[in-house]
Structures are given as structure tokens and as C-alpha cells.
Amino acid sequence: MIILAATPIGNLGDASRRLIEVLEGATVIAAEDTRTTQRLLAGLGIGNRPRLIALHDHNEKDRAPEIVELARDHDVLVLSDAGMPTVSDPGYGVVAAAAAAGVEVTAIPGPSAVVTALAVAGLPTDRFTFEGFVPRKAGDRARVFRELSAEPRTMVFFEAPSRVAATLADMATAFGADRRAAVCRELTKLHEEVARGSLAALVDWAAAGVRGEVVVVVAGASAREVAFPDAVTHVLEQVRSGIRLKDAAADVSAHTGHSSRELYQAALAVKG
């Protein structure tokens, strides 16, 4: 089978007993960076030397069939550099290919920068979206943030430290300077830091520069900030994901304050 294994995002002490056992017995590992995997094995005191296959964004499409075929006869462990494979990391292509080929896929749960940042940010956790890495180009970044400006759920982003200040400034423009947010850096590591405040305050905080691995968590738009057309769009997005129109309208109504009946009728008109 294919085994997706979450690895520590910083502190090696977060490696689970199950992960260590699987690493000790693994014969084949598909790794985002084989050097990182070798350091992980050494850091955990594991003497096992499995076959290592490089699996990264640039070769996953080509390597996925080979890895799936190997998994018919052997357990193949899939590792990213940190956290859970497939979550803004390689692995999705292998899982999709395995599912299509009827090869079993399982996972060893564990550390996740997304969930860890969400937990410590001090923002609502009942509903959230993971938006992945922020676009590098300023124009693309601004467009994405405009599209998300009415999103009522807490939003989680990955960002490179060198672009955090610019990204926070763009967020303040699109979401409003008073929108609450948190910048979580070096999670689980020695110099872990969580900076919380308004986007305007965080722009000032980041002006001197930010170092380390960064996750940005932003509060969703409050009900009064969501225009009716945007609320209808959210209803239609839920419908496209498989939710019944009536249920989607009720859910968006609860988060925006707009009439469930009016949202239902407007969405129905757009669908028609």
C-alpha cells in the first residue's frame, strides 16, 4: 500500500511512536527531499537504510506510476519535508494514481502547520479554509485577496518570510486594516513566535523583517462586511461542492445575516 506519513514540522520530539516504527521497517520511501529524510532518520536514531526515491513537484507526474506499481508488492512510505504529504506538498499525484489503480492508501497522522497555527492564532476555529501558498506576484496576490475579502471563515495561508510584510499590507488593503490576524512563525521550534493583532498592526510588526517558516491566519469577514451578491456566490460555491441549495442558503445566512429565503431564491435564479 501507499502510506502517507506526517513528519515533525520542527521539533523532532513530535515524531509519533508509530512513525518511528514504520521508518525503522520501511523498505521503500518516496521523499520530497531524500537528504531531509536521511537527516530525519539520523535525528531519530534510526539505523534503517531503505531505498529512497525522490518525489517532488517537478517529477511527481512522471514518478507516480512507478511508485504505485511498487506499492502493489511493497509498502511505500511517502514523506514530505515536514508535515503531512499532499498538503501544499508532493503526494497528491501518487494518491490519485493509486486510487485509480485500486492500490490501497492509508495515512499516519501527525504534525500539521495548518492545524497548529489555527489552534494558537486565537481566531475562530469552528470553520476555516486553507488557501495554501500566497501568489508571488503582487497583482495575482491582490486579486486573490479581493476574491477572499467576503470569505466568512477563518483563512490560513503559507508565505515565505521575505514576502510577509508585503502580503500583510495587501491583506490590509483587501480585508481592511482592522481585520484580526496572526502571524505564526517557527512553530514547535526554539524561536516559535505568534504575533497577533490587526492587519495594520502586523504590517508595522513585520516592517523590520520576518525570519523562519511562516503561517498567516486571518479572521473571516463579519456578517456586516458581506454584501448580498457575495453571499449568493458563497451559496453557489457550496452547492457546487455537493451541498443542497437549501442547506447552503441556511449556512450562509447564519454567517452573513442575509435572509436564507432571499439567498435561496437568488441562487436558484442564477442556477436557472
Band of residue 55 on the pLDDT scale cut at 50, 70, 90? very high
Neighbour count for residue 78 (Cβ, 10 Å): 28
Question: What local confidence, expressed as pLDDT, does residue 272 receive?
Answer: 75
Confidence band of 153 (pLDDT split at 50, 70, 90): very high
Q: Which residues pair with 105 in a beta bridge?
A: 2
Give the model's pLDDT for residue 234. 87
* Same domain (yes/no): 12, 76: yes
For the stretch 70-121, pLDDT in tens is 999 999 999 999 999 999 999 999 999 999 999 999 999 999 999 999 999 9
Q: Which of 199, 221, 243 is the last residue of a domain?
A: 221
Per the prediction, the chain carries an average pLDDT of 95
Same domain, 242 and 203: no
One domain, residues 217 and 161: yes
- Answer yes or no: do 93 and 39 share one domain: yes
DSSP calls for 12-27: GGG--HHHHHHHHH-S
Residue type, 216: V
Residue 253: give the domain boundaries: 224-271
Q: Alpha-carbon torsion 9, 13, 16, 20, what sign?
A: positive
d(CA 108, CA 6) in angstroms, rounded, equals 6
Based on the fold, state whether residues 58 and 95 are members of the same structural domain: yes
Find how far residue 262's CA is from the centre of its chain. 33
Is 206 found in the same domain as 147? yes
Q: Name 4's bridge partners.
A: 78, 107
Secondary structure of residue 40 in the 3-state scheme:
helix
105 is written with which cell numbers?
Answer: 492508501
Contacts of 20-28 with CB under 8 Å at 24 or more apart are: 20/44, 20/46, 22/77, 22/108, 23/48, 23/77, 24/48, 26/50, 26/75, 26/77, 27/51, 27/74, 27/75, 28/53, 28/70, 28/74, 28/75, 28/76, 28/77
> What would the DSSP string read from start to end of 161-178?
GGGHHHHHHHHHHHH-TT
Does the pLDDT at position 129 exceed 80? Answer: yes
Shared domain check, 258 and 177:
no
Number of domains forming the structure of the chain? 3
My answer on whether 23 and 80 are in the same domain is yes
State the sign of the Cα–Cα–Cα–Cα dihedral 92, 93, 99, 104: negative
- Say whether both 189 and 258 belong to one domain: no
216/229 same-domain check: no
150 vs 17 pLDDT, higher one:
17
Last residue of a domain, one of 87, 111, 135: 111
Q: Residue 253: what pLDDT?
A: 87
